[in-house]
Amino acid sequence: MLTASKKRKENIAEYLLYMWQIEDIIRAFGLDAERISAALIDSVPDMSDAQRRDVRDWYESLIDMMRREEVVESGHLQINRNTLGELADLHRRLLADGRYDNYTRAFYDALPAIVELRARAGDHPAGEIETCFNALYAVLLMRMKRQDISEATSEAMAKITRLTALLAAYYAKDERGELFGKDEDSDGQ
């Protein structure tokens, strides 16, 4: 909860990937709040009883949402799908606005990798931004499992990472109302 709040404020891309990881952690513990508490909360030093209660309540709330939204085995919570939707909407607005040609260049640089990944998705390909996040999450899981990542995959992921990093930076500016103002310079940074 504390980490999620911090990531949400600092980097929306990291926040979304973190929340997907939390969903998977909850699934790995069988949506059992007691097991989560014993393994992840109770053993943390330097946490007050009030903080422990808050974190337990947060996990219990997420568990309840996962059950209600029927994403117990797979899928993402609506709050996370909403965040992804906001990012996809911002992506479209950035591409449509000529002042953000650095973003457009980063997108077209990553586009061949995105197209290839979408082609592999079969009958239900995700949108461009969701495809980027799916790829980032897949590589994160591969790294956690200490699996080899090919040079071609690493090169593609570098392009996707650059695109999502720019998108996250623009998201922060947009949240502050600084993105689409009249005085915004052309590089947007």
Q: How many other CB atoms are found less than 10 A from the CB of residue 185? A: 7
Cβ contact 160:136 at 8 Å: yes
pLDDT of residue 121: 80
73 has pLDDT over 90: yes
Mean pLDDT of 135-163: 94
33 has pLDDT over 60: yes
78 has pLDDT over 60: yes
Confidence of residue 120 (pLDDT cuts 50, 70, 90): confident
C-alpha dihedral (79, 84, 88, 89), degrees to nearest 10: 20
Specify the pTM: 0.88
pLDDT of residue 4: 78
pLDDT of residue 2: 65
Confidence of residue 1 (pLDDT cuts 50, 70, 90): low
Kindly state the tokens that stand for 113: 């990798």
Cβ contact 155:139 at 8 Å: no
pLDDT in tens, 121-141: 877 778 999 999 999 999 999
Question: What are the structural domain ranges in the chain?
Answer: 2-68, 78-175
24 has pLDDT over 50: yes
Length of the chain equals 189
pLDDT of residue 183: 46
pLDDT in tens, 160-189: 999 999 999 999 999 999 988 654 444 444
